[in-house]
Amino acid sequence: MIPVVITSTMNRPDLLDRLLGSLDVPAERVLVVDNGRTGYQREGVAVMAPPFQSLGWPGTLNFGIMQTPDAPWWLLVNDDAWFEPGKLELLCSEMGTEEPVIHHHEWTSVALTRAVVERVGLFDEWSFWPLYFDDTDYARRCFLAGIPVIEGAWCREGEGDVDQHGATTRSDPALATANHRTWQLNRQAYVAKWGGPPGRETFTTPWGRDVPLWATKPDVDGRTARAW
């Protein structure tokens, strides 16, 4: 059984339905953050809509994890992904550990144990809102902490027969434009945090300071600049 599934929706409840319909292993709890206030409902699924702005993807994950702190592990998955039959059963067999470990498929779907959160913290929703580079940042922190990050092909993403990232933003020109703008800002934030772009980092602690890997910096102006 999957202890907790965490996802969100912005503008494509049809893709979310496809995702949830592909769960061929029982989930004890399923939490959806309705960031686009679509009014989504589904039997057996807990849905939360933010009161003002979207929580963003890292905020969604943090919210879901902290709402279910008793879980031994969490499955975090984009709403435009889906699972092929039998893949989740194999994943669950890999997650029967109390050790810090992450399994992921291109960070479209991520399974991580409680011990990972205890060691490297939550996702940095201040630096990388509303999405992109939050996963790169988390992978960097896990690498520095010596946590195994294991990649496997156990889900698919997009529409049709070809896997593609970002089906939700591509389907709305306004969202695609906003995403292009904030992608650039988040890349700048990553360089500032780690002293270089992905693959060319020079810092081994956030912002090169004497702070733990889980440290973040509240940035109200940055959040305002990234508003969609």
209, 216 Cβ separation under 8 angstroms: no
Task: Please give the pLDDT value at position 157.
Answer: 86
Taking 70 as the threshold, does the pLDDT of residue 164 lie above it?
A: no
DSSP one-letter code for 10: S
Query: What is the DSSP annotation of 135-197?
Result: HHHHHHHHHHHT--EEE----EESSTTS--S-HHHHT-HHHHHHHHHHHHHHHHHHHHHHSSS
Q: How far apart are CA 154 and CA 213, in angstroms?
A: 29
* Span 136-159, average pLDDT: 93
Whole-number percent of the chain with pLDDT over 70: 97
Full-prediction pTM beyond 0.85? yes
Task: Please give the pLDDT value at position 174.
Answer: 85
Q: What's phi and psi for 104, nearest 5 deg?
A: -150, 160
Write out pLDDT tens, residues 75-126.
Answer: 999 999 999 999 999 999 999 889 999 999 999 999 999 999 999 999 999 9
Chain centroid to CA 7: how far?
8
Task: Please give the pLDDT value at position 29.
Answer: 98
Taking 70 as the threshold, does the pLDDT of residue 160 lie above it?
A: no
Measured at the CA of 16, the angle between CA 11 and CA 21, to 5 degrees, comes to 160
Q: What's phi and psi for 156, nearest 5 deg?
A: -130, 160
Write out pLDDT tens, residues 61-76.
Answer: 999 999 999 999 999 9
Q: Tokens 């988390």 — which residue? A: 138
Number of alpha carbons in the 13 Å side-chain half-sphere of residue 177: 3
Domains for the chain: give ranges and CATH numbers.
2-225 (3.90.550)
Q: How far apart are CA 159 and CA 151, in angstroms?
A: 22
Task: Please give the pLDDT value at position 186.
Answer: 98
Whole-number percent of the chain with pLDDT over 90: 87
154 compared with 83, residue with greater pLDDT: 83
Taking 60 as the threshold, does the pLDDT of residue 162 lie above it?
A: no
Write out pLDDT tens, residues 167-196.
Answer: 777 777 888 899 899 999 999 999 999 999
* Residues with Cβ within 8 Å of residue 72, at least 6 apart in sequence: 3, 95, 98, 113, 114
